[in-house]
Amino acid sequence: MPNKLLAPSGPGRPKDLIKRQAILEAAKSLFLSQGYDGSSMDAIAAEAGVSKLTVYNHFTDKETLFSAAVKAKCQEQLPELFFELPPGVPIETVLLTIGRGFHGLINSHESVEMHRLMVALASQNPKLSQMFYDAGPQRLLNEMERLLSKADLAGQLRIDDASRAADQFFCLIKGGANFRLLIGCTSPPQDETAEQHVRGAVDMFVRAYRPD
């Protein structure tokens, strides 16, 4: 349902930030339901309950808005704070938090539908595919690479190639179940099943990179 009425701005929540969030939510909804080409800036503005000029004031074009919507979805589940390594906190604890967030992200309805959309558009719009990758998967890989480099310096892990290790970690969390979900052969893992999978993946990763 279109968000015709924006919530009133309150202390600490400037009206511009509320409008920006409304635009992002409208964009995510329309990109998934109408596809990229079928989602005009006019339609996004109407869905968000703002003027078209307001949309362009926040996002210069549809490509920028698409990239911002992908990034916003990732940050909902995996904020940058998750990739910090506070003193005295075991790396296992940090990896479990990231693993749970990533597992929830990739198995969410929005992410599954977006993945299917990008596969469908891959041969038609490689530039859009690259924008999606840079805003979503690549950002997470960069954050994980920095975290693993910190863990190596702190002596909690021994990692020669943090970029490769970051890729391995996310592949372990995805597992085969995510592929089956993408092609419609199963439903998203829930509760204890999801927790056991994440814990098993983190345990395997830590054992592989634990210092001798």
SS (H, E, C) 154-188: CCCCCCCCHHHHHHHHHHHHHHHHHHHHHCCCCCC
Residues in the chain: 212
- Which pLDDT belongs to residue 11? 40
Quote the number of domains for the chain: 2
Residue 1 domain-assigned?
Answer: no
Residues 23, 113 within the same domain: no
Last residue of a domain, one of 60, 77, 97: 60
At 141-154, the pLDDT tens digits run 999 999 999 999 99
Mean pLDDT of 27-32: 91
Could you tell me the CATH number of the domain that includes residue 38? 1.10.10.60
At 113-130, the pLDDT tens digits run 999 989 988 888 888 899
Q: Quick one: which of 102, 81, 101, 207 has its CA closest to 156?
A: 207
Measured distance CA(101)–CA(126) in Å, rounded: 28
Residue 198 domain-assigned?
Answer: yes
At 160-187, the pLDDT tens digits run 999 999 999 999 999 999 999 999 999 9
Residues 45, 73 within the same domain: no
Could you tell me the CATH number of the domain that includes residue 93? 1.10.357.10
Burial tier of 148 (Cβ tally within 10 Å: 0-12, 13-18, 19+): buried
Range of the domain at 21: 15-60
